[in-house]
Structure 1
Amino acid sequence: MENLLSLAFDNLSSYDGMKIRKGLRQVEGLLANICLSRQETSKDRRASMARDPGQEQESPPNCKNLSELSDDPAFYEFFKLQEGFEWNVAVRLVNTLDRLLAKGGDGSNDLLILKALDLIQGAMLLHPPSKALFSREMYMNLLLDLIEPDFCPAIQSATLLTLVTALIDTPQNTRTFESLDGLLAVTSLFRSRGTSRDVKLKLIEFLYFYLMPETPSIPSAAPRDSLPGLLHRSPSKLAKVFSSTNAGSKDDDGRPRSAGDGTTRSQEEKQALLGRHLNSVEELVKDLRQNTLFNGVVS
């Protein structure tokens, strides 16, 4: 697996679009092989055909469920490799995304950005501790830059989905998002007349997600080698009980007090923060609690 990652990383570090595309495909192939069930052997296939002669000769591989994935040796090896800087896929993909942004916008470059965003989501889902990258302002700013009006609707939608993946169950990242005026960026895009309806739907989905109750992050280990502490956790530690955090305090003016790294905010606190930029927050919260999503919110 190290050899496969090494080849992919060499291509991803290039400034040549063709090599970057090749590296993204190599990463995609690796992640796909981890997520998909192994193909049946010829013997298994013949036995299956004997039981049901009417079935197709070749059937697509099925996705593994979570229990199968956690016991899979390939996934375990991949997870262990992600614990260090040298083999961490998310780090390489984010750095590639940074270079793609610097190249400017054209059709082929946009496709590379979309593929990089898709793979960053996959890397974070397969290795949740990699989400800790987005607690750093430089990486969170990359995502906020990609929802600017300069980018096409497809990139804006993919970025919002990546942002949700980075924030879910990771309050520390949400606090970074808030401190960088992420709410202002999101609501400004929503209010803009130039924003497409599909992107507005994604923005509403994001706001519903943002207003949901937060889950405390898994306690982080001590950071080392310039990596966030969460990147050094082993698979067996991911299921440990979450640590308790403090939330709910307000300052003398009644506004939510700034939360420390990794601490959660209540729904009321986040509602107050979002209310500074959007007038219809109460309706969003009401719909969220009643599960009547998207009820006339997007015109």
Structure 2
Amino acid sequence: MEVLLSHSFDYLSSSSPQKIRKGLRQVEGLLAQICLSRSPPANKRHSIISQGQQASPPSRKLANLRDDPAFREFFKLQQSFQCNVAIRLISCLERLMGKGSNGQNDLLIISTLELLQGVLLLHTPSRELFAREIHMNLLLDLLDPCNCPAIQSSTLLTLVSTLLGQPGNTRTFESLDGLLVITALFKSRSTAREVKMKLVEFLYFYLMPETPQMQPQMSASASNTAVLGGRGRELVAAFERNRRETIGGVDKANSESSQTRNTEEKQKMLGKYLGNVDDLVEDLRESGGPFMGGAL
């Protein structure tokens, strides 16, 4: 797996769109092996019948992945800065954004964003990379009105992945006028309808109350230890050391931004840019918001 990641990183760092696409496909194939069920069919006849009914194996729940050897190996490698996929995808996004807007490049950006979403869900410590302003700014730049609706929608989903269980990242998002970017895009007449729907879903997500930062971190550490076995604590600590050495200012940002916010506090902040926040909050309280049903 380490060799495959090394080869894919070489392709992702290329200036050639064809090589970048190949690198993205290699990463996608690796994630597919981890996330898709490889359970053998009950019998050969059932296998033949199901071939015409099901194009791909069913996906597995995240909770069931920790006992899978491939996932354990992937998670262990992600604790290393050298093998961390999220960092490579972020760097790839930066290069792609510098090439301007065209059909081929836009498709590569969308593919990179989709893979980044998956990696952040599989390896939660990688979300802390977005406590850095330079990385959060990257996503906010992708919400620029000049980008196509598909890029904007994928960016919103990726943004949610970076904020899940990370109040420090949310404070970085707020400090960079992320709410202004979101609401300005929502108010713009040129914004596509499907993007506006995703923006409303994002606002529901943002308004949800946050849990104390220490609680998710303890929870994540326990989960990491369970996934990695006896060496879990050692590997988590190693990732943290590498992250501090390679990502300047993250610890400072987290310590200064550790305060969580409830719905009322967020409502007040969002109200500076949007007039109907009360209706959103009321709907959130009555229905639990769209995320309770997996709308985003």
TM norm structure 1: 0.81
Aligned counterpart, 1:237? none
Contact 1:170–1:262 (8 Å) recurs in 2: no
Q: Following TM superposition, by how much is the alpha carbon of 1:195 offset from its aligned partner in structure 2, in angstroms?
A: 0.6
Change (3 A) 1:132 1:54: closer
Gapped runs of 5+ residues in structure 1?
Answer: 231-258, 295-299
* Structure number, greater radius of gyration: 1
Residue of structure 1 in register with 2:251 after alignment = none
Contact 2:128 2:169 in 1 (8 A): yes
Q: CA shift at 1:90, angstroms?
A: 0.3
Match of 1:165 among 161, 180, 190: 161
CA distance 1:194–1:96, shift in 2 (3 Å): same
**Greater helix share, structure number:** 2
Alpha carbons of 1:293 and 1:37: their partners in 2 closer, same or farther (altered >3 Å)? closer
Aligned 8 A contact 1:36 1:64 in 2: yes
CA distance in 1: counterparts of 2:281 and 2:132, whole angstroms? 29
Distance 1:109 1:62 in 2: 30
Identity across the alignment (%): 57
Residue 55 of structure 1 aligns to a residue whose secondary structure is helix
> In the alignment, residue 49 of structure 1 is paired with which amino acid?
K
**Relative contact order higher in (CA < 8 Å, ≥ 6 apart):** 2
**Matches of 1:282 and 1:229, distance apart in 2:** 42
Change (3 A) 1:129 1:53: closer
1:225 matches 2:219: no
**Alpha-carbon deviation of 1:276?**
0.5
Q: Is the 8 A contact 2:205 2:289 kept in 1?
A: no
Where do 1:1-299 residues align within 5 Å? 1-38=1-38, 40=40, 48-49=43-44, 55-57=49-51, 60-217=56-213, 218-219=216-217, 223-227=240-244, 260-291=256-287
Separation of aligned partners in 2, 1:286 and 1:87: 44
Question: Against the structure 1 CA distance between its residues 32 and 105, is the aligned structure 2 distance closer, same or farther, given a 3 Å change threshold?
Answer: same
In the aligned structure 2, how far is the partner of 1:175 from the partner of 1:53?
50
Q: How many residues align?
A: 260
Where structure 2 has 5 or more consecutive residues not aligned to the other structure, the ranges are: 219-235, 248-254, 291-296
Q: Distance in 2 between matches of 1:53 and 1:213?
A: 46
Name the TM-score, length of structure 2 as normaliser.
Answer: 0.82
Check conservation: 2:152, 2:195, Cα contact below 8 A. yes
Q: Secondary structure at the match of 2:281?
A: helix
User: What do the CA deviations read for 1:108-154 (whole angstroms, capped 9, x no partner)?
Assistant: 00000000000000000110110001110000000000001010011
